[in-house]
Copies of this chain bind each other. A is one copy, B any other.
């Protein structure tokens, strides 16, 4: 088995670039292996993000190294999309052990390639390091024509709360455990390679006038709603669950409380929670439908202290903290 020790540092990122490919757009000068890359703005406003991952932490039992490559790109790209950006390029930093098999590196690179192709971004370059625990960090650069990309802080009374995406698979794994989850085909299929909706950026940027706040669901829907509520200092009242996996109905034997709790837990769904002014709601929903982005209108912002309520009860969900582990949130 060939390992990175034999391959050598400079060949690791080479191997990735060879698999993923790079693209230099007209007017750009620098290219891999230059240590920095130039790019020309494609819209008046740049949007950037960085996300890091412990590679083994992304490794659900049913995810191979290519899925992990996919997930790492998806997580960072999703943050750009939800702010109304069109992602343009990614940079990757990697930490891998010297005895890491080259075969696994190749698979990781294939997953990065699949994601880069799917999201229509390009790899600009990267950096490799030796690390006993493997890790990956992805920085994404995107552009938006929106004059005012939505922050987490903008929810106002009477806003409608729209949730895109379909929930429950990762929440099932979080609450029932990986062993149980592994036996559910629907959980495995849905969580192997989560997908962020590519057109969401266009919908958000073209409706920025009416979108008061937005945040992607990377750490669970319940956590996302609660964060938007506290950052915006606004109370969210939910009157409907988000779209959820049909199998959840059986798993919960039709108990709506069970369904909502599972749908609100989990993470890496990469849907979005969006606050919309009443006067813009029909435009936003029309655009979501045009791009066939699954969504549901789940609630509204109401008078009162920050907090998230489902009908008359405070929302409960399981939330993951990298340092503290799983906990049952408020």
A-to-B contact residues, CB < 8 Å: 4-5, 7-10, 12, 29-31, 33-41, 44-54, 57, 79-80, 82-83, 85, 89, 91-95, 98, 124-133, 135, 137, 139, 141-142, 144, 148-149, 151-152, 215-216, 218, 231, 321-324
Contacts and interface: CB of A to CB of B under 8 A. Distances in A.
A129 B322 contact: yes
A38 B45 contact: yes
Copies of the polypeptide in the assembly: 2
Contacts of A9: 321-324
A83 B124 CA distance: 15
A125 B50 contact: yes
B52 A148 contact: no
Nearest to A130: B322
Contacts of A57: 129-130
Contact of A98 (B12, B48, B50, B323): B323
Contacts of A144: 38
A324 B10 CA distance: 10
A39 B29 contact: no
Contacts of A54: 95, 129-131
B52 A47 contact: no
